[in-house]
């Protein structure tokens, strides 16, 4: 296999759950050696979230591919010395333990960076290293609530949790990009740095549009189900065969194309209710009735073909099984097998494609699988 972008980089991760493991898996896919330190007994508690993947946790399989699992008792002198040796040889130290935990272990950033000036440290927390929420438990859904995400997600009558761990993913992605930036900076300065990422800050960045829309627009965004809260038409529409097609019109040029080429209703262009996007959004219910009256003569497949021909963005509402068989993913050969303690598993290649190279996609580790090998390597 050709050299990977992060070959030669060693990451030691004192991690659990989702946010930090998600960040370090991205590094592993780019070739970094990621040594995952787990607690004796059950290890990372994400191993026990479910048993969906042939007895393994779907969460754990998703975000721990390509790592080495080392079980250490950090209260024991020998294992603590081994951890110190791992960190001394590392380029990056990542953790998402409870606030203050690494300091009590003598592994706080000031201590480590004084010992190892080239080391990059990255702390991932729920609410940051200080402030009144510093010690508050911060699970994904709870951070979504604190960031206001649930206030704008769901149907008008009730909020709904997004279907993925979006706060954890946001925090993990900013940790990942921050580590890459720190590695680049170290190439110029020879010095490491200390990074801090909070889930609230990360998800708060992703809440930028609703914040600005409400803070300066004067009215709160309302939960709108599967429809866009401020663009119309943008959402699901019923067809004559009972199917639904999602479509999106984001400019007056597209609105004209929809009316003339797909609806065959050019008079709607001049209707003052639909003159521009603010007007269309204000009269969304009336616009939906007009669209679905036209779409009633089409099947879902026929409507998609018509919209494609008119250059109108559209999509099918697929379930997970349909996504797994998506023709675009199949045509681009995006699926690969990788190994695990229960045998080969099928997963998607990472989103970043490096020209001429494929992601490492090394196995998911069994708990403590690499403990003795790592102990032998770093206890010399």
Look up 95 and say whether it is catalytic. Answer: no
120-125 and 154-155: which strand pairing?
unpaired
At residue 292, what are phi and psi to the nearest 5 degrees? -70, -25
CA 103 to CA 107: how far, in whole Å? Answer: 5
Joined tokens for residue 295: 């779409």
DSSP 230: S
Q: C-alpha distances in angstroms, 280 versus 61, 127, 252, 291?
A: 45, 39, 10, 12
Characterize 326-350 residue by residue with b for buried, 16 or more Cβ atoms within 10 angstroms of its Cβ, and e for exposed.
eeeeeeeeeeeebebeeeebebebb
In the set 95, 116, 209, 228, the catalytic residue is 228
Q: Where are the beta strands (DSSP E) in 91-153?
A: 92-95, 120-125
Q: C-alpha distances in angstroms, 271 versus 49, 209, 231?
A: 54, 29, 17
Q: C-alpha distances in angstroms, 86 versus 70, 174, 295?
A: 11, 24, 63
Of 161, 153, 287, the residue nearest 221 (C-alpha)? 153
Q: For residue 36, count CB atoms less than 10 angstroms from its CB and return exposed for 0-12, middle for 13-18, buried for 19 or more.
A: buried
Give the catalytic positions in this structure. 228
């Amino acid at each position: 296999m050709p050299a990977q972008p992060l070959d030669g980089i060693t990451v030691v991760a004192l991690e659990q759950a989702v946010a930090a493991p998600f960040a370090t898996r991205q590094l592993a896919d780019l070739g970094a050696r990621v040594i995952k330190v787990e607690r004796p007994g059950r290890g990372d508690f994400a191993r026990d979230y479910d048993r969906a993947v042939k007895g393994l946790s779907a969460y754990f399989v998703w975000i721990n591919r390509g790592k080495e699992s080392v079980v250490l008792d950090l209260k024991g002198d020998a294992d603590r010395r081994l951890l110190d040796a791992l960190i001394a040889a590392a380029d990056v130290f990542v953790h998402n333990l409870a606030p203050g935990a690494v300091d009590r272990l003598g592994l706080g950033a000031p201590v480590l960076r004084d010992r190892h000036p080239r080391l990059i440290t990255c702390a991932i927390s729920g609410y940051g290293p200080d402030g009144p929420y510093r010690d508050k438990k911060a699970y994904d859904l709870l951070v979504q609530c604190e960031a206001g995400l649930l206030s704008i997600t769901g149907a008008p009558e009730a909020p709904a949790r997004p279907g993925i761990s979006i706060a954890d993913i946001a925090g993990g992605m900013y940790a990942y990009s921050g580590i890459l930036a720190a590695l680049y900076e170290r190439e110029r300065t020879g010095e490491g740095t200390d990074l801090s990422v909070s889930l609230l800050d990360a998800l708060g960045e992703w809440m930028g549009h609703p914040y600005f829309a409400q803070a300066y627009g004067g009215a709160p965004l309302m939960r709108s189900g599967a429809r866009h809260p401020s663009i119309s038409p943008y959402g699901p529409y019923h067809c004559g065969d009972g199917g639904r097609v999602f479509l999106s019109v984001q400019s007056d040029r597209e609105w004209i194309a929809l009316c003339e080429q797909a609806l065959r209703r050019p008079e709607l262009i001049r209707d003052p209710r639909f003159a521009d996007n603010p007007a269309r959004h204000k009269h969304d219910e009336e616009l939906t009735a007009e669209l679905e009256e036209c779409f009633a003569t089409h099947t879902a497949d026929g409507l998609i073909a018509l919209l494609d021909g008119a250059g109108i963005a559209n999509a099918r509402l697929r379930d997970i099984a349909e996504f797994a068989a998506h023709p675009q993913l199949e045509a681009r050969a995006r699926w690969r097998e990788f190994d695990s303690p229960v045998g080969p598993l099928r997963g998607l290649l990472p989103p970043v494609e490096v020209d001429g190279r494929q992601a490492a996609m090394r196995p998911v580790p069994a708990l403590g699988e690499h403990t003795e090998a790592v102990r032998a390597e770093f206890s010399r």
